[in-house]
Chains A and B, each alone.
Chain A
Amino acid sequence: MIIIYHCFGGSHSSVTAAAIHLGLLSSDRLPSRDDIMALPYFDKTTDNDFGSIRFIGFDDNNNAVYVLGKKSQSDRFSNVLTGIAELLDKKDDLTAVNTMGRVNWSMKLGGYTSRKIGMAGLGRPVVIQGTIKAFWELVNLVEMTKFKILNRTQN
């Protein structure tokens, strides 16, 4: 199965969720600034990365985990991806997870300043602080995703 975590830029919340999923970040303690900055793609994407499905790694059950930046696409985006998988007869092979519901204002403001305006020195500390603040909510989202996948594979 492939799992796609998607958010606005594919740079912060989706990358963090994918890292938690893969165990790159421990899900039982808050990460440090350095832990977060060491993540692949964290706060490093460019405009060309919008719409690109980027591979992060395989989880313990050999599911491939990806991240995706979707710009301002609404909540229906997961359905769009699932719909495409369905018409390719691969519906059961895809789980799309929207991480935008876990994004706080610090992440939005810091992410915009760092990625859109290009002032990483100013925006990065703010987005990292926001990511640490949102960490337990992202852990919760990942746990729910893993549970859903387990349910699906057992049925």
Chain B
Amino acid sequence: MKIIFLGTTGVHQALVAGYYYLGFRPEGDCKNLNGFADLEMEICGFPILLGQDQKGNMVYALGCETDVLMMKKTIEQLADILGNEPNQLLVLPISIPGEKMLLWLTNIAGFTGAGKWYSFISRFIVKKNLLTIFNQVKQLQKQFIRN
């Protein structure tokens, strides 16, 4: 199965949630998380492979800009149209306060280039919301096990 953590950006809350799901804990302001606040990865738009969980599921993070739930619907429909077997793709939206701010910053950084400010503010916003992210992952894991 492929598991996609979906956020307004793929290199912030969605990426942290994916790594948390895989058992990595953010240290030193998320510096240990490969791809965190990586503008190039974000701009290209492809799902970011984070690793494989204990059951062999591939775990990804993906940014979808403005509307996370709309993108979840699109991805699930696309998987259906492409003839994907049911339960082979799981899309898990992750939402935090400040996610719109992260998106704006990413858009601005897309024009100006991602300097230290981008990394600093990204870490600040995500760090403030780590508990929210962890709780959402735990909640999703419970649902996942139940189903």
Contacts and interface: CB of A to CB of B under 8 A. Distances in A.
Interface of A: 2, 4, 50-53, 64, 66, 68, 70-74, 76-88, 90, 93-94
Contacts of A2: 81-82
Interface of B: 2, 4, 43-47, 58, 60, 62, 64-67, 69-71, 73-75, 77-79, 81-84, 88-89
Nearest to A85: B82
Given A79-B46, A80-B45, A71 B66 contact: yes
| Chain A contact surface mostly | mixed
A50 B69 CA distance: 10
Contacts of B2: 87-88
B60 to A, nearest CB: 7
Contact of B65 (A4, A72, A85, A90): A72
Contacts of A90: 82-84
Contacts of B73: 51-52
A79 B45 CA distance: 5
A85 to B, nearest CB: 6
B67 A71 contact: yes
Nearest to B79: A88
Contacts of A87: 2, 47, 58, 60
A24 to B, nearest CB: 20
B108 to A, nearest CB: 13
Nearest to A64: B81
A83 B47 CA distance: 6
Nearest to A78: B45
B71 A86 contact: no
B89 A70 contact: no
A90 to B, nearest CB: 4
B107 to A, nearest CB: 8
Given A85-B78, A88-B89, A94-B82, A80 B70 contact: no
A79 B44 contact: yes
B82 A93 contact: yes
Contacts of B84: 88, 90
Contacts of A50: 67, 70
Contacts of B46: 79-80, 82-83, 86
Q: Which 8 pairs across A and B sit closest by C-beta, in order of nearness?
A: A76-B45, A79-B45, A51-B70, A83-B46, A51-B73, A90-B82, A51-B74, A53-B77
